[in-house]
Structure 1
Amino acid sequence: MAITDRTRKSLWAKSGNRCSICKTELFSNKVDSEEFNIGEECHIISSKDNGPRHKPNISDYDLFDNLILLCRNHHREIDELTDTYTEELLRYIKLNHEKWVQTIINNAINSQKKAQPKFLTRITSGKDLLNIVSDSHGYRTDYDEIENEEDAEYIGGVLQDLVDYGDISGMVETYDKVKMGFELNKLLKDLEEKGYYLFGEKGIERMKFSNGETDKWSIATLVIKKKDSSEIIKVDLNESDKNANA
């Protein structure tokens, strides 16, 4: 079997484009203005009989849980020093690195909340919504106070669906994206029928890592508000046109 596009996207996204051991950036365009990639998708347990940490009778060696993202140097190191880099140690390194990346993203999002624009545009098109969530590295979500369990399950489900659409959007063809836009359009209509509006935007934010390096990440902001929320500002565009022509 081979690593699927979905597994590959998850591995790179959860690893933050960084080596799980040394944290170096793996894919960049900073050298001579040409893109280069020093990242390698490495197996914790090798499928080869004489491979590093091999175990027989595993149905699929290319699943996400058996993969760790590393730079070339550390890939070579873990495969040569198998007594040091045991299966248990590599799983520990993988888990801690992915938690580190998530912490970096969450901290950056939380620290920049005050800097976010006070006004978000209401989203009325599934196509526009797909453009916002597509290929985002992180999501900033918010919603009005939930008053009952039914609404909590519904709003939570909607936000999770939006994140899921964003995660898989980069792995599908144009035909599927059109269908996804149609499904998101239905989601928006259902949301409105239940008394809610969705507001959002996509922005590029600078993330700072513990080694002092910074990187630009795409963050989608999604906010669900009740239709009667006092925070919603309604603008009469027809009235604005009249004033402009006066």
Structure 2
Amino acid sequence: MSISDKNRKILWGRSGNKCAMCRHTLVFDNTPNDAESVVGEECHIISGAKSGPRSDSDFPREKIDDVSNLILLCRIHHKQIDDQVETYTPELLRTIKGNHEKWVENKLKDIPEIPKVRIQRIKEEIPDKLPVINSGKEMFHIAAGACAFYNDYSDNLTDEELDLVGSFIQNVKDWAELAQEMEPLQQINASRDLDKEIKALRELNIFTFAAIEKQKMVGGIGGDSPFRVLHLSINKASDSNVISDENA
């Protein structure tokens, strides 16, 4: 038998990457020329070998590689406990192991709890109604830098209309995500493409409405982080939620 990956993970996790005796760190960071160095060893309290340190013929064989029979040590203290078996008895090693794992647990409790990450909407920033967008240039500049999207469209679109609307929404999203990395000429071409789509929709009496909402990501280790959310709605002029200038 051998120590399972699960028991290794439990032992290293409960030991906090520290030797149970000297509490030195057991993994050294990589250097510009070499990989990480692991100096920790998973040590048996009761040896599985007949003549091994602290061997016990009455100890259940199936418990030899159990996490309860393992202690995490640096190489120096591994050798010491196996050379000085009269001093480092199973009872003493279990006490050392238990005390060390309690120390690790208490140290972790001292770390302030990181607030959960959540999205915060600000009432004043939520658009009451979306203004109509008349050009691709206007659409591009509103959408540029948006990190999230609320999309809506009319329910009674034909298959042809639905294809046009779906393609337009996807293009707006794609350009919004790429906008910050685009050169001026690319931005002009993107605006022109959006303009053509807006005009094609307008010929079918379908209008584009859009606005930006500012939201916040709060919590985590980085503090509050504001981001832009695009509200985009594509609607037929006959839709009940479309308000004309005459009725506004």
Q: What is the TM-score with the length of structure 1 in the denominator?
A: 0.48
Higher share in helix: 1
Using the size of structure 2 for normalisation, the TM-score is 0.47
Largest Rg, 1 or 2: 2
